[in-house]
Amino acid sequence: MNLRRYLATLSTGRLILWCYFIWWAVVFVRYFDPSIRLWLTSLGLSGIIGIALYISTAGSGTTKVKLDFWQTFRLFLMPFCVSSFAALVKGKEFILIFSPKAEEILLAVGLCAALCIIVFALKKMEIE
């Protein structure tokens, strides 16, 4: 599947997840910390929490659910992003997930808005 087709068929839920990832990526780029301990801790938490999430979604009910690769990948990616985000912004005066620097907030919001505009434009082109 090419990128244009992928974006044109992107669900609202996945678009929101991409915006979350963009927000994390802006923080990652602006506040990168090369500490191996930070990244190993994030990987460890990702593994532990990802397994728990997988069990709770795919294997704990009366009916087994088959998750595809990307669904499973996201179950592990989200805890990694959350734990690394928290470690990267610690002591940086963030309020919840918001940087104290307006330009960083505007950058993240602008990138998310740009993605949304592209997706909605491609969806409109698909309809016509």
Beta strands in 1-128 (DSSP E): none
Q: Which domain holds residue 88?
A: 3-127
Residue 100 carries which side chain, given as an amino acid letter?
P
Q: What does the pLDDT read at residue 99?
A: 98
CA max distance for the chain? 51
Residue range 66-70: average pLDDT?
93
CB–CB of 28/88 below 8 Å?
yes
SS3 at position 95: strand
Q: What does the pLDDT read at residue 1?
A: 66
Residue-wise pLDDT for 89-121, tens only, equals 999 999 999 999 999 999 999 999 999 999 999
Number of domains comprising the chain: 1
